[in-house]
Chain A
């Protein structure tokens, strides 16, 4: 099927930094192309090590770029500030890597919500992040801090929480959404319980209904090989992918009357509200405060 892609006009989405590729996967002088918010862009690594990116329809206009946490970040408009900070990842003795960049036919906010969601562990990640009948999601704390969504004291029984885990445990996660299309969690490191491992999902929004999910890892594990660490994340994400591709509508509905949340979804409720307040329209079905009529599936990229 041929699809024509709508280019994003949402000023909120245009002013964000978007992850595009893991810098380690770039070869000098090789120009690559990808889709970002419906725009074809080219990017690459110059001989001097600097990064560059441009829209294909405006090849001479250099787009603002950043290199942080191992990724090339691109802004298609006027950036507001820098890429968000990840204090843990700045520590010198860490292993930071891109576990995988995986294409999924869904919208970015659906993937963010899935990442925030503990309730699906026993059903989608059975044997790894959860197992039946341990299905209860106990209450946790959600706050908005510095204009970010945070969820703390998120406890869940996990039979195999990480590549290095042996046996079941109750894990405690802290979730953080610093960006409409990026989400991460921290949990105490098995190697050094006083410090935090970070797992992130940095989403490249190709179109409203297609993403490339960059799986970010920043861990203290010195024993597991890259391959082992990557494979674990890849298995987990490959279990989420078919679910994400079977959600309808693909765009995240912000109208609270379209889907039914429960207490366990507190973080998702806060996230949806936060997106509404940001005024984001790309990749969501905006809620209409005054609507009394029918909710429709909204926009579609044809």
Chain B
């Protein structure tokens, strides 16, 4: 036996090794270990990993620890787009690992800081790879690039990686073997019979997994024989090495550091994004999805898009300087791109017209992070979704989320005609859960709504989005049929209320102690911003609820369409972009 590999014999300490190796890519399993709807458990350099493949084949490599109470995510459920923790059912989106749902608080959108730690993932030579802090992609091995790589069975060893490397030349491959070191824990073994690349995964200080890839795939008739031969050779090698390892003192296990989390307040609310146009996206696809309706698929220029929860909307900054709000049609956990649907409004002031006519595939747009003011509960015994026209967009995201989770729901979609239905292919997928109501007069629509909202049963929820008159009618009906306010959720496209800006009043800011005046013609929002307060806003017409703040004292003059009647009456919150004060002073919780 000859051995011509060189090795740095200077002994490195465990910590140095970790620092050194944290930049390297290592295999963490065979690609087929991460089957759809499964979660694979792996460990690298002492750190446990939950590895799971979404239905779109995206490979997720996450720290194996739910941020809530530390439960291993590898014992959770992979539902195809989200990973659900087994302990309290928290859900995390594929790609971003952002939390999409907290069952204990079904009405609240989870804070966007609740995000598991993710690691880069790659697949090459039939293996899955990751790196703790490295960049780029898994290493390319010339011997494998040139050949037809064929991954053999991976085998765990109770031995440190370095010890395995040292003894690899004892691998019985028939005849003389030559071992060449290609990189850290990565060696090429050649003999007359075969040439194999070994990748050693340092699981912990005293544990490893040996992954082996033949440079040339065996011909199919021979495959079993070859597999057997190598399995035997590797097992024999393992027995020898483990015997050696068992005589050495047991190495101290590695202790990877836990990352700290940004604390959130207990309401799970994070301050919404302050930066109005923080993301750059490319229009990857633009298509007509219904008569007068264009769909846009937006992909990030770099990195991942922020985690979406059903019912979210974004601000789109148009090339002509206008800012418009559009609901995302993405279901929970669908993070590859954002999809919006835009209807060409006949009286468009340049928003929808610009998107329809000027924006092309390949263009770059600035958008805000998703805002979650129309949240979906996933704890209802029955959910009714009512869409009027382009109001389908947020409800489609809800319908698909409920459908994916196996929750009972019905989507009622009111439209002018079947050609006016947006995203018909996706509606089709919903099957019987989607009912369309076409070409109805306002009167007929009213009757239909009456049928739908006829009786309320406990733990039922209704979500409505559509044109103002339809929404008003539906809300009145729900109220008449004893739907509790907490079970009726709505989103208006716009606020058609004539906003009265005449009165002048004072606002006091409880947290900073500042008192200032809101003059005629000014909005509270504007005055707050003039005070240097980074107030989020979106529609700025009292429809979306992004700029809501708490009221400690005073009587608000509500002019929005966001708050529910009970919330208005209580006077505890105010939509600052349009609403004002009936009392001389408002004390705001800000």
Contacts from A to B (Cβ < 8 Å): 113, 117-120, 122-124, 132-137, 242-243, 246-249, 253, 255-264, 266, 269, 294-297, 300, 302
Q: Tell me how far the C-beta of B14 lies from the nearest C-beta in chain A, rounded to whole angstroms.
A: 14
Could you say which of B87, B106, B114, B264 contacts A136, with CB atoms under 8 Å apart? B106
Q: Convert B77-109 into 0s and 1s, putting 1 for each residue whose CB lies closer than 8 angstroms to a CB of A.
A: 000000000111100000000000011111000
Are A119 and B103 interface neighbours, CB within 8 A? yes
- Tell me whether A248 and B67 are in contact (CB under 8 A): no
* A residues near B248, Cβ cutoff 8 Å: none
Q: Which 8 A/B pairs are nearest by Cβ-Cβ distance? A: A135-B103, A264-B104, A119-B104, A133-B379, A257-B260, A137-B104, A294-B257, A246-B72
B260 contacts across to A, CB distance below 8 A = 255, 257-258, 294-295
Which chain B residues in 233-279 approach chain A with CB under 8 Å?
Answer: 252-253, 255-264, 266-268
Q: How far apart are the CA atoms of A151 and B257 in the complex, in Å?
A: 33
- Number of A-B residue pairs with CB-CB distance less than 8 Å in the complex they form: 115
B581 nearest CB across to chain A (Å): 30
A246 touches B75 (CB 8 A): yes
Q: Do residues A260 and B67 form an inter-chain contact, with CB atoms below 8 A?
A: yes
Instruction: Collect the chain B residues with CB atoms within 8 Å of residue A247's CB.
Output: 69-72
CB of B67 within 8 A of CB of A261, answer: no
**Count class of interface residues, chain B:** 35 or more
Alpha-carbon separation in the docked complex, A134 to B380 (Å): 8
Beyond the given A123-B103, A263-B266, please list 17 additional residue pairs across the A-B interface where CB-CB is below 8 A: A120-B87, A120-B88, A132-B89, A132-B103, A132-B379, A133-B407, A135-B104, A137-B105, A253-B70, A260-B67, A260-B264, A262-B68, A262-B266, A262-B268, A294-B260, A297-B255, A300-B255
Docked pose: A263 CA to B413 CA in angstroms:
36
Contact sample, A vs B, 16 pairs, CB 8 Å cutoff: A117-B88, A119-B88, A123-B86, A133-B459, A242-B75, A246-B75, A247-B70, A247-B72, A249-B70, A255-B260, A257-B260, A259-B261, A260-B114, A263-B104, A294-B258, A297-B255
The chain B residue sitting closest to A268, CB to CB, is B69
A243 to B75, CA, bound (A): 9
Name the one of B71, B253, B380 contacting A133, with C-beta atoms under 8 angstroms.
B380
- The reply to whether A249 and B87 contact each other, CB–CB distance below 8 Å, is no
Contact partners of A117 in chain B: CB under 8 A: 88
Give min CB distance, B312 to chain A, whole Å. 20
Interface pair B67/A259, CB less than 8 Å apart: yes
| A256 pairs with B104, CB closer than 8 A | no
Contacts of B106 in A (CB 8 A): 135-136
B129 → A minimal CB distance (Å) = 23
Q: Are the CB atoms of B103 and A259 closer together than 8 Å?
A: no
| Distance between A141 CB and nearest chain B CB, rounded to angstroms | 14
Contact string, B99-137, partner A, CB cutoff 8 A, digits 1/0? 000111110000000100000000000000000000000
Q: Is there an interface contact between B379 and A134, defined as CB atoms closer than 8 Å? A: yes
CA distance A256 to B266 in the complex (A): 12
A261 and B86 form a contact (CB under 8 A): no
**Could you tell me the distance between the alpha carbons of A64 and B65 in the complex, rounded to whole angstroms?**
41
Residue numbers in B under 8 Å from A249 (CB-CB): 70, 258
B530 to chain A, nearest CB (A): 34
Report the Cα distance A255→B260, complex, angstroms. Answer: 9
Considering the complex, give the chain A residue whose CB is closest to the CB of B111.
A260
Is B330 at the interface (CB under 8 A from chain A)?
Answer: no
- Contact string, B370-401, partner A, CB cutoff 8 A, digits 1/0? 00000000111100000000000000000000
Please measure, in the bound complex, the distance between the C-alpha atom of A29 and the C-alpha atom of B268, giving whole angstroms: 57
Question: B380 → chain A, closest Cβ, in Å?
Answer: 7
The answer for the CA separation of A297 and B65 in the assembled complex, in Å, is 13
Are the CB atoms of B266 and A296 closer together than 8 Å? no
Q: A295 vs B366: C-alpha distance in the bound complex, in angstroms? A: 37
Is B585 positioned at the interface, with any CB of A under 8 Å from its CB?
no
Q: Given contacts A137-B104, A247-B69, is CB(A294)–CB(B379) below 8 Å?
A: no
Q: Which residues of B contact A119 (CB under 8 A)?
A: 88, 103-104
A243 (CB) vs chain B CBs: closest residue:
B87
Q: Which residues of A contact B261 (CB under 8 A)?
A: 257-260
Residues of B near A246 (CB, < 8 A) are 71-72, 75
Q: Could you tell me the distance between the alpha carbons of A260 and B407 in the complex, rounded to whole angstroms?
A: 27
Given A133-B381, A135-B89, A256-B263, is A296 in contact with B257 using a C-beta cutoff of 8 Å?
yes
A123 touches B87 (CB 8 A): yes
Cα distance A83–B270 when bound, in Å?
43
List chain B residues, Cβ under 8 A from A269: 266
Query: Does the CB pair B69–A259 fall under 8 Å?
Result: yes
The answer to whether B257 touches A248, judged by C-beta atoms less than 8 angstroms apart, is: no
- How many angstroms from the CA of A64 to the CA of B267 in the assembled complex? 46
Cα separation A153 to B89 with both chains bound (whole Å): 23
Bound-state CA distance A136–B267 (Å) is 14
B48 close to chain A: CB less than 8 A: yes
List of B residues within 8 angstroms of A262 by Cβ: 68, 102, 104-105, 266, 268
Q: From A291, which residue of chain B is reached at the shortest CB distance?
A: B260
Q: How far is the CA of A247 from the CA of B72 in the complex (A)?
A: 6
Query: B537 in the interface, Cβ–Cβ < 8 Å?
Result: no
Alpha-carbon distance A134/B106, docked complex (angstroms)? 10
Q: Is B201 engaged at the interface, CB distance under 8 Å to the other chain?
A: no
CB pair A296 B258 closer than 8 Å: yes
Question: What is the minimal beta-carbon distance from B514 to any residue of chain A, in angstroms?
Answer: 29
B579 proximal to A (CB < 8 A): no
| B104 cross-chain contacts in A, Cβ below 8 A | 118-119, 135-137, 262-264
B38-66 interface code vs A (CB 8 A; 1 in, 0 out): 00000000001000000000000000110
A120 to B85, CA, bound (A): 10
- Chain B residues lying within 8 Å of A260, measured Cβ to Cβ, are 67-68, 114, 261, 264
Q: What distance in Å separates the Cβ of B96 from its nearest Cβ neighbour in chain A?
A: 16
Minimum CB–CB distance from A231 to chain B (whole Å) comes to 24
State A29–B88 Cα separation when bound (angstroms): 46
Q: How far is the CA of A61 from the CA of B224 in the complex (A)?
A: 67
Q: Which residues of B contact A259 (CB under 8 A)?
A: 67-70, 261
Query: In the complex, A119→B103 CA distance in Å?
Result: 8
Assembly CA distance A106 to B113 (angstroms): 28
| A297–B266 touching, CB < 8 Å | no
Q: Which residues of A contact B459 (CB under 8 A)?
A: 133
Which residue from A134, A137, A243, A300 sits with its C-beta under 8 Å from B71?
Answer: A243
A7 to B466 Cα, complex, angstroms: 67
CB neighbours (8 Å) of B71 from chain A are 243, 246-248
> Which residue on chain A has the smallest CB distance to residue B114?
A260
The contact string, 1 if C-beta is below 8 Å from chain A, for chain B 194-219, is 00000000000000000000000000
